Amino acid sequence: MKIPYRFWIAVMIFMTTFTNYMMRSNMSVSIFAMQYKKEGAQGQCSEDGQVTTAAPTTTMDPNATTTTTEKPDEGLFHKFTYSQMEQAQILAGYGYGYVATCLLGGFLAEYYGPWKVIFFSTLASIVLTVVCVPAAYLHWTALLVARILIGALGGLIYPAVQILINNWAPKNEKGKFVSATLGNNLGTVVTFASVGAISQAINWAWGFFFVGAFVTCYLILIFFLLSDSPTKSKLVSSEEKEYLATMIPPPKTKLVAPYLKIFTSLPFYALLFSQFCNLYGLFVNIVSVPKFFRDYLNQDIRRSGFLSALPPLTRMFAGLGFGAVGDYIEKHRENSSTAVRKSFCIFSHILPGITLICIMFVECNWIFATGLLVLSQGFNGGAVCTILRNSQDLAPNFSGTLYGIISFTGGTTQFIVPLVMGAVLGTEAYPGLDKWRWVFLIGGGVYIIGGIIFMAFGTTKEQAWNEPKQATA
């Protein structure tokens, strides 16, 4: 059976989100590989999961000055000593840039086409990822600026991906295309595991070089394979073009979104707040979990990278399964699509919140902690049937704009989570479970609130302002 070309577009969407999250999440592992571990420092847990002490043995001044003392055996790429505040700011840097541009991303993708947005923003991000290495030696604020710029470029990606889905996916296949956006989970997995292993085996700088080289290979594929729509592709067969033309309304270009109507729409606000809550929980996993495994559960950087990778890997496979189930239900459903979406909120928000809260009871059992995180992210794969698809429901003509807006608000979680984590954990270099449990309790509570909001006010009904004749600000 001949594989339709839109399958390869879905693969490119998968790889776009995959590489976006490689450049987004590598700092969550590299930040620890870049730092000295103080002699004699010990958290509450031993490597085999036993409680070793009732309190951390080392404290750290949150306003301590960064030092770059080189050790003789480290060669060119020596390490640093970052305070808790500096760590939090560096981890939050991507989020600062991301929220500054994701609103612009929807407009650019709808006006100029998603291919240009994806290609040129990724190209610049590769350069800046490599630049992070010399930037770290200038000052920690130079590294922060590089991360802010990478985030600003990354903020353009997801709105462009929504335009691709709208242009290429028939309605009965959108669940599969939306589930392809969960390439971000595999990107996180590969990054956590590979960067952790490379950093420990060689040094921290090669983690950045690896990410830059990998994404360069992807960019070559994008140059040759990706097109804005079937009509602009030279690689799509005439039969498939005819089929897609009957199944997908022709893309409308250079429209101005009806912003006033969008910002007075209750279903849109339900989507916006539930996506904020979803991303808060996701970034608890991306930002907090590697530190939790390394500093509290006392796992080395190689193992902590591997363990931190398991939850997003589970989320990806679960999301692919949820996407297929969602398409099947959409095709054979007897109930309204709104009822179906809301029922999936149990998986996408409620159960992830409950399992995340349960981490407060793990003590030093790293196996139990890993299992709960895997369950939390696995359940959250159901988001492909709820909020990740809802912008396509409400206004397919402006799905890029809608996704840009919800990415703007949701993107703030990328710096809110590190800052909340830093405030909760305080100045202790190795905080105990009495502080860590609040990180996960807050994350789980936010998840649950997001699910309740969507179940109360969300809908799949296409909004009247989706029509081009109303597409004025």
What CATH number does the domain containing 110 carry? Answer: 1.20.1250.20
pLDDT band at 363 (very low <50, low <70, confident <90, very high): confident
b vs e for 421-434, b when ≥16 Cβ sit within 10 Å of the residue's Cβ?
A: bbebbeebbbbbbe
pLDDT band at 335 (very low <50, low <70, confident <90, very high): low
pLDDT band at 178 (very low <50, low <70, confident <90, very high): confident
Residue 253 burial (CB count, 10 A): 12
**Type of residue found at 23:** M
Sign of CA dihedral 166, 257, 109, 253: positive
Mean pLDDT of the residues in the chain: 82
Give the residue, 133 or 233, on which the prediction is more confident: 133
Find where tokens 């390394």 sit.
294
What tokens appear for 154 in the block? 């990354």
Give the residue, 49 or 165, on which the prediction is more confident: 165
pLDDT for 83 equals: 79
Average pLDDT of the residues in 126-138: 94
14-23, 69-78, 158-167, 219-228: least confidently modelled range: 69-78
8-state DSSP, 48: T
- For residue 59, the cross-strand partners are 428
pLDDT band at 300 (very low <50, low <70, confident <90, very high): low
pLDDT for 266 equals: 94
Q: What is the C-alpha separation between 71 and 78, in angstroms, rounded?
A: 7
**In 3D, which of 124, 193, 195 has the Cα closest to residue 157?**
124
Query: The whole model's pTM is what?
Result: 0.71
Q: Percentage of the chain with pLDDT > 90? A: 25
Give the residue, 356 or 41, on which the prediction is more confident: 356
pLDDT over 50 (residue 58): no
Q: What is the C-alpha separation between 178 and 165, in angstroms, rounded?
A: 7
Residues 6+ apart with CB under 8 A from 77: 133, 203, 204, 205
Among 290-299, 307-316, 366-375, the range of highest mean pLDDT = 366-375
Domain assignment of residue 330, given as a range: 5-470
Which SS3 state, helix, strand or coil, does residue 266 take? helix
Residues 6+ apart with CB under 8 A from 361: none
b vs e for 207-246, b when ≥16 Cβ sit within 10 Å of the residue's Cβ?
A: bbebbbebbbebbeebeeebbbbbeebeebeeebeebbee
Give the residue, 58 or 416, on which the prediction is more confident: 416
pLDDT band at 62 (very low <50, low <70, confident <90, very high): very low
pLDDT over 50 (residue 470): no
CB 425 within 8 A of CB 284: no
Average pLDDT of the residues in 364-392: 86
pLDDT over 80 (residue 154): yes
Give the residue, 422 or 130, on which the prediction is more confident: 130
Q: What is the number of domains present in the chain?
A: 1
pLDDT for 220 equals: 93
pLDDT over 80 (residue 198): yes
Give the residue, 413 or 179, on which the prediction is more confident: 413
pLDDT band at 79 (very low <50, low <70, confident <90, very high): confident
Residue 19 burial (CB count, 10 A): 29
pLDDT for 302 equals: 66
